[in-house]
Amino acid sequence: MIRSADFDPTFIEEIMAEPGGEHLLTCWSCGTCSATCLVRRFDSAFNPRRVLHKAGLGLREVVLSSAEVWQCSACDACYPRCPKQIHISDVMKAIRQIAIREGYERPGVVAEVDESTCIACGLCVAACPYNAISLETVECEGGQKLAARVDSNLCMACGICNSVCLGSCIGVPGYLDEAINESIARGEQADPVMPRIVAITCNWCLHAGKDWEYAQHPPEGVKVVSVPCSGRVTPTFVTTALQAGVDGVLVVGCQEDQCHYKHGNALERGRAAMLQNLLELLGIERERAQFAWLGSLDRGKFPALVNKMVQDVQALGPLSWGK
């Protein structure tokens, strides 16, 4: 229940005074953003239209204490479709700035740095889509050194920093190299004649329940591994899998303009060509590493992608690399 005492007009003024928050009251509450939002497709509790509506009513505590303002990943899929051209992710950012000032913190995990191994090369700083990383002087092992530092209020836990760090000194707990390699590792399979396939999918690209269900219960010989973003997939995941006895690796991410983390899929596209060329140089067919990009309206395509991968690998025969 909302009481009249909950309406705080100064909250509206504060949001509109923040950079990006000035368009708050121009929202028509049409819901186009909610219909477009990638986050909402996976979490129906997140509703950007409703956040703006509550903020426009001045419901300070309701808005600031909610996890919703932290869920917008600034993918900006909604921005071109908003009839009032409201940059919703900027409004969300303005609200988050107020939340931070008032002592609220982002819920959930964020990237962590191992300062003892970080060499302050700055690769992660350049790769982070959210400018969440800076190089700072830290106290470490009895001395001072320059190392990466993550702003936990900006980090969206995409794991892209980990994918560019040569020493794996930064990463999101649960999605560190070791954990992903462990998931990729294959045990014995009942039918040794079936090709062994690993499909690595971004958490956001399987939109249909049917695709998701298939990923949870893949057919014999196929293992599905989830990562936050295709940009988290390093070429070494693929080469390690192939060396460990896998016959083919399929990487599935979001379509070009639909990355949940701004440009993670673009990063992976660049790596795809590089990886396939590397395999060829090593005398391994490039078809053993395949990449596919699913749009937000694609439904039921994942099983067909996996089937094609299985058929292609069956035609190539087993891979003897590392065996």
Q: Whole-number minimum distance, CB 74 to ligand SF4, in Å?
A: 5
Whole-angstrom distance, CA of residue 142 vs CA of residue 140:
6
88 or 250: whose CB is closer to ligand SF4?
Answer: 88
User: Under a CB-based contact definition with an 8 Å cutoff, are residues 193 and 219 in contact?
Assistant: no
- Residues in contact with ligand SF4, total (CB under 6 A)? 43
| Binding residue (CB under 6 A) for ligand SF4 from 156, 222, 227, 251 | 156
Contact pick of 24, 59, 78, 238 for ligand SF4 (by CB under 6 A): 78
Q: List the alpha helices (DSSP H) in 115-203.
A: 123-127, 160-164, 177-184
Decide whether 125 or 194 has the Cβ nearer to ligand SF4. Answer: 125
Give the Cα-Cα-Cα angle 206, 263, 175 (nearest 5 degrees): 60
| Amino acid (1-letter code) at residue 267 | L
69 binds ligand SF4 (CB under 6 A): no
Q: Could you give the CA distance from residue 49 to residue 33 in angstroms, rounded to a whole number? A: 6
Q: Report the residue number, 97 or 314, with the smaller CB distance to ligand SF4.
A: 97
Q: Which of 24, 55, 77, 249 binds ligand SF4 (CB under 6 A)?
A: 77
Cα 286 to Cα 264: distance, rounded to the nearest angstrom:
22
Binding region for ligand SF4 (CB under 6 A) out of 2-10, 159-167, 177-185, 193-201: 159-167
- Return d(Cα 67, Cα 36) in angstroms, integer: 19
Q: Is 258 in the site for ligand SF4 (CB under 6 A)?
A: no
Residues 32-61 that bind ligand SF4 (CB under 6 A): 33, 36-39, 48
Q: Is 120 in the site for ligand SF4 (CB under 6 A)?
A: yes
Applying the rule CB under 6 A, the residues between 183 and 222 that interact with ligand SF4 are none
Note whether 305 binds ligand SF4 by CB under 6 A: no
**Rounded Cα distance, 95 and 69, in Å:** 7
State the Cα angle at 186 between 112 and 192, rounded to 5°. 170
**What is the token pair recorded at 124?**
């992660």
Q: Shortest approach of ligand SF4 to residue 34 CB, angstroms? A: 8
User: Which of these ranges, 4-12, 54-62, 110-118, 188-196, lies near ligand SF4 under the rule CB under 6 A?
Assistant: 110-118
Spatial separation of the C-alpha atoms in residues 257 and 234, rounded to whole Å: 21
The conformation of residue 218, written as its DSSP 8-state character, comes to P
User: Which span (58-66, 74-82, 212-220, 251-259) binds ligand SF4, by CB under 6 A?
Assistant: 74-82
Cα 239 from Cα 221, distance rounded (Å): 18
Residue 188 class from Cβ within 10 Å (0-12 exposed, 13-18 middle, 19+ buried)? exposed
> For the window 166-185, what string marks contact with ligand SF4 as x by the rule CB under 6 A?
-x-xx-x-------------
Distance of CA 228 to the CA centre of its chain: 4
Among 59, 69, 74, 310, which residue sits at the site for ligand SF4 (rule: CB under 6 A)?
A: 74
| Residues within the interface to ligand SF4 (CB under 6 A) | 33, 36-39, 48, 72-78, 88-89, 110-111, 113, 118-124, 128, 130, 132-133, 148, 150, 155-161, 165, 167, 169-170, 172
